[in-house]
Structure 1
């Protein structure tokens, strides 16, 4: 718990310093420090400073997951653009469901959001280990159902 509280304070302070640009102002810097301290105190009091609320363990795996997801987003953009250019006949919308193998709510959230971030698909419902999603066509639906994104999201989650 203490390591999450300290790391949250450090992250908030760095973000505040980068966004404010005020490094030496005699009034603004102490007010920034007070705002960071108040935010950390409130987060601790609300009991939201934990492994899921401040996922430090995902920093290293994100270096592998995010580039892969960005590539998938680009490929999906191209696929959706082809459907748009081909006209109405190439679009065959469908609602489908897929099992999520992630062990935590954070992992399932990452998976569901990854589906939504990929053009041509939208997550519409998440319950337990099942995700319902909309797909623009059968090919796009199969891209989710093939399990690659689920496997990578589970690997990214890092829970055994």
Structure 2
């Protein structure tokens, strides 16, 4: 078998100086990409909050149909989340279990909590509904219609609308 000759006079590998130059170039490129990515974080958090809230509203509506009971989603637009967002919501089966009162839009007794979620960091939730809650009946129809608005620190807003038939619509970049 023939051996290949090294064009560098028999030395293989990188010198320390070459390695340092490559690391410096990679560090500069990483720094530039991180600053470019940081401007997308507020949009990402806003969109993630909207997707989560809409999915949870669908889950509450589906659960109401499945168990043939009222499912209530209560919005708290003043509660600060552990991550720094403003707003939270809780969904529960409003059936009066464990000595609670049924159909009173308050989680009491042993009524089963389906979910409790907080709005993520730098996102604020506000409500344009008649009440601070929506109740889905056994047919998946809401007791009220209205809007839930999520806003990020750049004041970009997305509106989630619940209409009288239970349809949940998203209006991006709502003004």
TM-score, length basis structure 2: 0.27
Higher strand share: 2
Higher helix share: 1
Higher RCO (CA 8 Å, separation ≥ 6 residues): 1
TM-score, length basis structure 1: 0.29
Task: Please tell me whether Structure 1 or Structure 2 has the larger radius of gyration of its CA atoms.
Answer: 2
